[in-house]
Each structure stands twice: as structure tokens, then as C-alpha cells.
A and B are shown apart, each in its own frame.
Chain A
Amino acid sequence: MAAATEEHPGSTGFVPRAAEEVEEVHEANEEERLGRDDDGDEILRFMDSVDGHLLLMDSLSPALRRGWIDLAGARHWIGTSRVSSTLFDHKEQSAATKVQVVDSADLQSSEPNPHFVLSKWHLQEKSNSNDAVSAQDNTKPKLRFRGSTTFPEDGSHEADVAPAESWTGVDTRSHVQRARSKALSVFGALVSPKLRTSQISFETALELIVELANSRSNMLASFFQIKDG
């Protein structure tokens, strides 16, 4: 009897139960499908972050090699006594370039991974209010499209500097140039162009290192998410 009533589609008492079961099955299937989709997205994100990390590692080595050989060229041209660690300034002074670690506790996001922010040549001190927002935006890893390089290979930085809202591009460039000259002035006021080139190469390398740290942080976050899921 029960079986007969269950099979009869017109019966009001039994169609909802069958429909519920069907709906439950459908919902279960949908959840499973969504779960697989989420897992798939996470895996894709993880692989994408690994790919980005490897590309950054590949970019770091040439930048450092350029910097070291240009430094050797500067020593060759103006003399080993003029370009030497003996001339580094031991006076107390504030750092022109800083790396800020943005902890997960500071962010509204639930992501556990820390984020690193590079402030070059005192520039981002003028735009500190944007740091937390930009850090928050950057913690959730996004899918990256291959071909969009993070930094140009020739070491030009003017486009990468994040100026304060009130600064023009010209102000920023002249400030950066003055800051760079001041940093090199430990070796003398008139230094070889090779020393300046070396400075820019090392600056590029520093940016890449910070980007590598962020990339590794994102990579580990994706990995743990996949592992827990």
C-alpha cells in the first residue's frame, strides 16, 4: 500500500516526500559539485601562485647579477678604496627604505598569511592611510594571467613607485633621484654612472624579494586551504 501510494504521483501526501528526497539528492549533488568547484579553484590558485613564485625567482637572479657586476665595474673605474664598505656611514639616521609586515590581526580578512609592504625612499610615509587598504586587497590571492610581468627587466622604477595622493609624478621622480643620490653620497658626491646603475639593479632586486615573500605567503595560504579542504 505504501509502495502504491508512493508510486502514485497525484497523491498529495507522498509527492512532497519524494520531491524532497529528490531535492535533497539534488542539493547534495549541487553541494558536492560546488565543493569540487571550490577545490578546483583553490588548486588553480595554488598552482598559479607557485608559477608566479617561480617566475619571480627567475627574475631575481639576473637583477642581482647585474647589480654585482656593475658594482665591480664602478670599483674598477673609480678605485677600490672609493667604493668600499669602509666608507659606510655609521651615524644614526632613519632608514630611507622600510619593509612593513602587515599581520593578519590587522586585517579584516580571515586569511592567516602575513603581507609585506615595501616603502622606498620615504615615499609611502606620505600615503600611510592607503597601506592597510592596499594590503587587505592584496592578501586574497587572485588568479594571475601569464604575460603580465610584475617588474620591468631594465630596472626602471618610476612607474612602480606609489606616490602620495598630493604628489605629482615630477615631484616623485625628483624626490627619488635626490634620495638615491644621497644614499650614494657615502662614496663621494661625484660617482660613476655604473654605481648608479648598480643601485637601481639592487633596488629592483629588493622589490622582487618583497614580492617573493608575498607570493610565498599566498602560496602557503593556498596550500593549507587545499590541505584542510
Chain B
Amino acid sequence: MYGWEMLSFNIHDGFLEAIVRGNRSGLLTASDYNNLCQCENLDDVKMHLTATEYGPYLQNEPSPLHTTTIVEKCTLKLVDEYKHMLCQATEPLSTFLQYITYGHMIDNVVLIVTGTLHERDVNELLEKCHPLGMFDSIASLAVAQNMRELYRLVLVDTPLAPYFSECITSEDLDDMNIEIMRNTLYKAYLEDFYKFCQKLGGATAEIMCDLLSFEADRRAVNITINSIGTELTRDDRRRLYSNFGLLYPYGHEELAVCEDVDQVRGAMEKYPPYQSIFAKISYGESQMLDKAFYEEEVRRLCLSFEQQFHYAVFFAYIRLREQEIRNLMWISECVAQNQKNRVHDSVVFMF
């Protein structure tokens, strides 16, 4: 133990840690995934999921099912579990749990702003927002014309307000500016979450800082690969990387100048934890990189359950559920498209 958590953790947070460890045992196993991978259609998938903890959420859905319906209902289960934990949490756990949702809040803000730019109906956009990232005034985002208005009219009263200081401009919102805004907000959020976890100290700081560093490094790689061949300049790219993580600062300097996937590989292979990730993919290829990163993330998240009396188990459980929902989405898509031979391309098994 790091900071004598064993003496005092259970006073306020022991019950919820027990709840989350119980919820963890409800995650789908390899046997469940094998059954799902052999389904012939989405009704079979629904039938198999009805026998799991997702049963109450899917059993009343009428046929024919769609993959988005499966994802929505499974997400509802995650939201219910999260709200159940949040309403019973005390400080600082309640703040920690809220931090977990700020990423979804940022995605929802960007979704509304982008959709409004494309003259879409706000109600249609609200239906597509992630439920974990909803806040009261989210519908008002549609009236903002630039980032300054976005901040002044809506976001100043939300938890995202402190993250806007680096991206408030009067420039009109266009696709590139929105993308830069998204990544700048996420960078500020990750850094804030990192500092919060460091202040908590103990096992929470140790494990969460490792998980958040991996998240920051993965985002740096994604930004690099996704921006190859686009108008994003090297300086702008460099500014989107977080100021922490294993790759900070020298890895970021190399990633900022990469022009193809092989150069990214060259920069990443200098770091032993990422050598194993890039060893799984062949040269010039980036298609399987997402699965390799997800597998490494799941490995680290599962390891966090090996220790007690820390908050990282809550973060790990939410992330593992999200990975499970991604797995179900992929399996459903492969079944619906009759391409079951591709199902193991992206399914990541846990525990």
C-alpha cells in the first residue's frame, strides 16, 4: 500500500468498490464472445445477450434489430450503473467519477456544433449524443457562431469552462477549427484529470497516472496518423499533444514531423512499452493498430483490479464496459453484413 489507504478507504468508498468489483464479474467472457461470433443474424445476437446482464435492456426490442439499437441499449446499462455509483459517492470519489464523463461531454459539444454547422436539426443531434456526456444547456450550443460565443453563452457554466482558455477565438467555426477545438479541449481535460489524480495520491495516483499517460500517448499517435495528408500543420499538430506521458517531450517532437505510418513506427519503437504494440502490425499498415492499442489498454485496465483501495477500479470498469460495447458493435456489424470471417479483427477479449 502507498498511503495507508487500507486504514480509511472503506469508510466512505468501500461499498462502492465492492459494487464495482461485483459489476466487473458481469463482463462478458470469452465463452460469451464465442457464442456471439457464431450467430447468424442480429436476432441470434439478441437471444444470446438476453441471457447476460444486458437481458433486461434488449428483451423488449422488436425485430428487425439494428446494430445501433444494440449499442444504444447496452450503453443505457452502463449509464444506469454509472448513475447508481455517482449518486452514492462522496467527495473526492464523486468528482473523480464526474471527470470520467468529461470526454463524452466534449464529444457531445463537438457533435452539436458540427451538426449545426451542417444545418441539421438540434433534436436529431441530441438523440445521437452520448448519455454520459449530457448537461442541461447542451441544446443552446446550436445558437453559437464562434468559439467565443460558445463559451460565453453556454459552456461558461459547465465543467468544460476551464478547458476553453486555450481555444477561445472569434474565428468562425469550420471543420478544421472544430477539430482543433475538440483536441485542444481533450488535451486540457486529460491534463486536468492527471493533476487531480496526482493530488489524490497513493495507489490512485500511481495507477491512474499510468492509465492516463497511455491515453495521452495513444491520442498523440492517433492525431499523427489521422493528420497525415491533411492541412494540419506540424506546429498545430504539436500543439494538440498532451504535456505528459511517456512520449512527452521527445517522442512528440518526432511524431510532429512524421509523414507516414512507417515514420510513426520508427518514433514509437524507441519506447519499449510500445515496441510490442507495433510488433503486431506489419510495415506500412495501420489497420490493425487500433486493435493493438485496445488490447494494451485492456491489459492495463484489468491489472488495476489486482490492487485494492483505490479509485482506478471505477475508471477501469467504465472503460472496460465501453470496450465491451465496442466489441458488441463490431460483432453485430460483422453478423449483419455477413462477414463473420472479419469478426476477430477488432474484438478484444478481457480477463
- Contact surface of A with B, Cβ cutoff 8 Å: 65, 68-69, 72-73, 75-77, 79-82, 84, 86-91, 177, 181, 185-186, 188-194, 197
Contact = CB atoms under 8 A, between A and B. Distances in A.
Contacts of A73: 287, 290, 345-346
Contacts of A181: 229-231
Contacts of A90: 118-120
Contacts, number: 100
B329 A86 contact: no
9 contacts: A65-B337, A65-B339, A72-B330, A73-B345, A76-B290, A76-B333, A87-B114, A186-B175, A189-B178
Contact of B120 (A75, A80, A86, A191): A86
A69 B329 contact: no
B105 to A, nearest CB: 12
Contacts of B239: none
Interface in B298-340: 326, 329-330, 333-334, 337, 339
Classify the interface of chain B: helix, strand, loop or mixed.
helix
B175 A185 contact: yes
Interface range, B side:
35 or more
A30 B287 CA distance: 64
Classify the interface of chain A: helix, strand, loop or mixed.
helix
Interface of B: 68, 71, 107-108, 110-111, 114-115, 118-120, 124-125, 127-130, 175-176, 178-180, 182-183, 223, 225-227, 229-232, 286-287, 290, 326, 329-330, 333-334, 337, 339, 342, 345-346
A124 B124 CA distance: 37
A193 B225 contact: yes
Most B CB contacts (10 A, CB to CB) among A84, A185, A194 go to A185
Contact of B128 (A68, A86, A185, A194): A86
Contacts of B129: 81
A89 B339 CA distance: 30
A86 B125 CA distance: 7
